Structure 1
Amino acid sequence: MKACATRNPLRLFRRPKTLTAKPKIKPEAKPGVRREPTQARAQQTIQTLFKAAAQILDKDGEAGLSTNKVAAAAGFSIGTLYQYFPSKEVLLRAMAAKGQDMVLQALEQYLAALELRPDVAQMDPQDLLRQAIRILLQGFATGKGFTQSLIRLGWSLEQPQETASVVRQVSDRLAIFFERIHHPALPTPTTAQLFVLSRSVIGTLRSASLEKSPLLGSAALEDALVQMAWALLARK
């Protein structure tokens, strides 16, 4: 597919200035979107368009998807769709951006909640890792909340340099998390450990999604990722 000139939908985090300041995820304008909805009705319109497009994408693939089909399936005029999305490509990139945003917001909520728990240092360390990996696995590969075909589309639209930027920022957030929880079995990782961990996990999920691996959705894939993270991070 010809690369789009708009920003990559994976670029959702702002890099924290330091590792001592908790990063705040600020929603960015969707790439190429003509009008950013602010009212509840407009938000509902956007979600209805996304749902219709995802259903068509699952059934007919990207080649079978058009703005006219999306508008008709959603029950809107083509003019309503064009108020927000000037082309099919902009619509798809906005959908991918929304899906990625949901994943990263879920990860942030999970980590932030654990940081506030007074008993976090007594929690099962492997379970802490498993839940974080499960959020990434479901969002970047198996399709919780969004379909697997939409996730694959998001990966196919990626720009490598911006994906790398997002992964670096996720790595920084994890560094803050491990530093704050003071878990006896999970010391603060080194920069090298976090580099290997973040690239290995997200790279594996990217490959599994694009290759339509039969491992997607299996306990075996999740277990293997948890085992890798534990072997890398656990106090020896």
Structure 2
Amino acid sequence: MPAATEPPKRRQPSQQRAQHTVQAILQAAARLFAEHEMRDQPEPTTEQIAALAGVSVGSLYQYFADRAAILRALIEQQREAAMIALETMLAERMAAMPATAGMPGQEAARAALRAYVQAYVLSFGGYDDHTRALARLAWRHDRDEDAVAALRMASERIGAQLQALGMRTLRVPAPAQMFALTRALFGVVRAASLERSPLLGSPALEDELVRLCWGLLQREPEAG
């Protein structure tokens, strides 16, 4: 008779608990950092974050060295989620472009570009008091080495997305053009966020960003 197989071992609950604890800490941190930012208060302490997360300070330090490490992890998590959402949205728009009835190729591309810019502003500038407070906090911490590296990687991913859009009906921008374009997007949204500009999220600002991107992506008319 074949040897009886052992039932599969259950996953160690400690790993699940660890993931749950980390997420609880990050969720508490997001709430407190946003609240303190909106009230112009000093950043929350690790004790305050641990208390809201429902964990001990000792447990918090098992996962994060200090408050700065919590903030870095929070910013990284939110920016990665934003990038995935942007990539998914653009992929869906591009897939639908050939089936867009009665709309010329460039009009469809421009509509996709506008949707992308709108989503970009919301993702990196925020859409309500809470998310805009977190966006300001993230932009203020973008000068250290890790944050600059993260922004560079995000710029490359955004450049690849816009380049993919250009490959469909527009021209493929040169590397220098993509560098200027992605940094311009970052710069405008960063400035609007940090200055708490009423233009952030407005149709007027989105119009200008679309024109900026379109000017670099639009294919020049062929000589007759």
Provide the TM-score with structure 2 as the length reference.
0.74
Looking at structure 1, the residues matched to 76 and 108 of structure 2 have their Cα atoms a distance apart, in angstroms, of: 33
Cα-to-partner distance string for 1:148-195 (whole Å, 9 max, x where unaligned): 22222222222375234542343234324432xx22xx2322333322
Aligned pairs for 1:179-218 within 5 A: 179=167, 182-183=168-169, 186-218=170-202
Instruction: Kindly provide the amino acid, as one letter, of the partner of residue 126 in structure 2.
Output: T
Determine if the alignment matches structure 1 residue 109 to structure 2 residue 97.
Answer: no
**Percent identity, aligned pairs only?**
34
Cα deviation for residue 109 of structure 1 reads 1.6
Q: Which of residues 32, 40, 57 in structure 2 aligns to 1:56?
A: 32
Aligned residue for 1:32? none
**Residue in structure 2 matched with residue 23 of structure 1 by the alignment:** none
Q: Distance in 2 between matches of 1:145 and 1:167?
A: 25
Structure 1: state its 5+ residue gaps: 1-37
Cross-structure match for 1:93: 72
Q: Indicate the SS of the match to 2:90.
A: helix
Higher helix share: 2
Matched, 1:156 2:140: yes
Aligned twin of 2:48: 69
Aligned-partner Cα distance in 2 for 1:108–1:39: 30
Instruction: Give me the TM-score of the superposition, normalised by structure 1.
Output: 0.70
Counterpart-to-counterpart distance in 2, 1:173 and 1:40: 34
Task: Call closer, same or farther: CA 1:116–1:126 in 2, change over 3 Å.
Answer: closer
On the 8 A contact 1:99/1:146 being kept in 2, the answer is no
The answer as to whether partners of 1:48 and 1:74 remain within 8 angstroms in 2 is yes
Decide whether aligned partners of structure 1 residues 53 and 233 sit closer, same or farther in structure 2, where only a CA change above 3 A counts.
same
Instruction: Tell me which amino acid in the other structure corresponds to 2:63.
Output: Y
Give CA deviations for 1:52-95 in whole Å, capped at 9, x if unaligned: 22222232236240111011112222122222112111001110
Report which of the two structures shows the higher radius of gyration computed on alpha carbons: 2
- For structure 2, list consecutive stretches of 5 or more residues without a partner in the other structure: 1-13
Question: Does the 8 Å CA contact 2:83/2:154 hold for their aligned counterparts?
Answer: no
In structure 2, what residue type is equivalent to 1:124? Answer: A
